Amino acid sequence: MNIKGKVHYVGVNDRVKHRFEGLWFLPMGVSYNSYLIDDEKVALVDTVDVAFFAEYLEKIREVIGDRPIDYLVINHMEPDHSGSISLIRKYYPGVRLVGNRKTFEMVQGFYGEPTGDDIMVAEGDELPLGHHRLRFHLAPMLHWPETMVSYDQTDKILFSGDAFGCFGALNGAVLDTQMNTEPYWPEMERYFASILGKFCAPVRTALQKLGGLDIAMICSTHGPVWTEQTPRAIETYRRLSHGENRPGVVVCYGSMYGNTQRAAEAVAEGAARAGVNDIIVHNLSVSQPSFVLADIFRYNGLAIGGPTYNGGLFPVVEDLLKRLAGREVCHHHLACFGGFTWSGQAVKTITAYNEKMKMTPVGCPVEWKQGTGAGTLAQARKLGEALGRAVLDGTAC
Ligand code: FEO
């Protein structure tokens, strides 16, 4: 599929995998994007998951027939993109891999591929292809240590690796101008929260570094190719990496027998009384973590509650806290609540996690022994009201 001049899309759709990285739910599937530049020298930019190699090879041959591939540019080594390196080398024995020092350590480590006549690049190095000329920029921890981007100076195309990518398979078209992109924007936020949420600082550094480039098109490794909507894709990543959120409350709870659930409903009622319109309630035993994380990145208020369980916190609630502690989500107001039967640990544990999360605590935590009576629910409503007022006072803490 031609996307501009000599540049072709040869990526594939995965509509089978349930969870990306074994973790993140994929209701719209995911695409593994790869690009072929059919110039005097032929360059392939990234590969695809090896499970799709037969289809991938067909797509490559549709473009270049029996011509050899001269270069395989490796922007990222996670196996959804590097998985076909060994087979590409087998089918195109003259291909020269192009990557940085860390790339080649991983090529050897993952695939046992020796470095042959390959090309090791550093920041700013260039690769002429004929009409096109690629320049390489290192973008470490976006989201692996070896990640880099390749900029085509001729057509101003940024081959960005995972950056500016999103979940969602491509349904026929590849270019943003040829599709309704609306379903992909929430999937970009969910992708960011799940995959890049820990690496906000490196994303900010990369955005600053790339800020001087004249970018007409972004070819990432997942999701649509951005042309007219390039500014929106860049702005979305900028906003998320700076922790910019909007007023709203996400109530996350786990509940065994309904007491914490009643408290969660009361917190939500309180936030609504305070005038908050965007309130989302997640039962963590039901909601998928990536959707919960995306909502937490989106809004500036968070309420977390759970019962004490086996002398600690209810596992699904602790799981969320672990995920949050490993991400940059500090621009939030936090309210917490939790129950116990004989020895309270829930609120203590949530509070301890907040030492890492660094959210701004709001109100008095609501804690109850055994059942949630009318008094506890009134306190939970008050807590929700306090959280609601805090989130409406300002979008940043
Ligand atoms: Fe799409 Fe980090 O791999």
Question: Once rounded to an integer, what is the mean pLDDT over residues 240-257?
Answer: 97
> Is 273 inside a domain boundary?
yes
Question: Strands, DSSP E only, in 229-298?
Answer: 246-253, 279-283
**Residue 322 lies inside a defined structural domain of this protein:** yes
With beta carbons less than 8 A apart as the criterion, state whether 1 and 174 touch. yes
Q: Distance (Å, rounded) from C-alpha 309 to C-alpha 256? A: 9
Q: Has residue 311 got a pLDDT over 80?
A: yes
Residue 396 lies inside a defined structural domain of this protein: no
Domain with residue 91: its CATH number is 3.60.15.10
Could you report the per-residue pLDDT of 126-182, keeping only the tens digit for each? 999 999 999 999 999 999 999 999 999 999 999 999 999 999 999 999 999 999 999
Q: 201-212: per-residue pLDDT in tens?
A: 999 999 999 999
**Is the domain of 227 the same as that of 301?**
no
- 319 alpha carbon – ligand 1 mean position (Å): 23
For 76, the 3-state DSSP assignment is coil
Task: Please give the Cα distance from 49 to 14 (Å, whole number).
Answer: 9
Using DSSP, state whether 38 is helix, strand or coil: strand
Last residue within a domain, chosen from 241, 261, 287: 241
Report the CATH number at residue 351: 3.40.50.360
Parallel, antiparallel, or unpaired: how do β-strands 360-361 and 333-340 relate? parallel
Rounded Cα–Cα distance for residues 151 and 163 (Å): 13
For 282, the domain range is 247-389
Q: Which of 362, 295, 356, 350 is nearest to 319 (CA)?
A: 350
Residue 187, exposed/middle/buried by CB under 10 A (0-12, 13-18, 19+)? buried
| CA 143 to ligand 1: nearest atom | 2
Q: In this structure, is residue 257 part of a structural domain?
A: yes
Identify whether residues 285 and 269 lie together within a single domain. yes
Task: Annotate 122-181 with DSSP letters as a single string.
Answer: -TT-EEE-SS-EEEEEE-TTSSSTT-EEEEETTTTEEEEETTT--S----S--BGGGS--
Residues 234 and 257 placed together within one structural domain of the fold: no
The one-character DSSP state at 271 is H
Mean pLDDT over residues 355-383, rounded? 96
Tell me what the mean pLDDT of segment 307-319 comes to: 97
Task: Count the domains in the chain.
Answer: 2
- Do 13 and 106 lie in one domain? The reply is yes
Query: Is residue 112 domain-shared with residue 62, that is, in the same domain?
Result: yes
Contact between 29 and 14 under an 8 Å Cβ cutoff? The reply is yes
Same domain, 197 and 288: no
Q: What is the overall mean pLDDT for the chain?
A: 96
**How is 223-240 classified by DSSP, letter by letter?**
SPBBSTTHHHHHHHHHHH
Of 241, 266, 299, which residue is a domain's last? 241
> Is the domain of 89 the same as that of 65?
yes
Ligand 1: residues with CB < 6 A are 76, 78, 80-81, 143, 162, 221-222
Secondary element (H or E) of residue 264 = helix 259-273
Of 191, 226, 241, the residue at which a domain comes to its end is: 241
**How many angstroms is it from 82 CA to the middle of ligand 1?**
9
| Judgement on whether residues 158 and 261 belong to the same structural domain of the protein | no
Q: Ligand 1 centre from 139 Cα, in Å?
A: 14
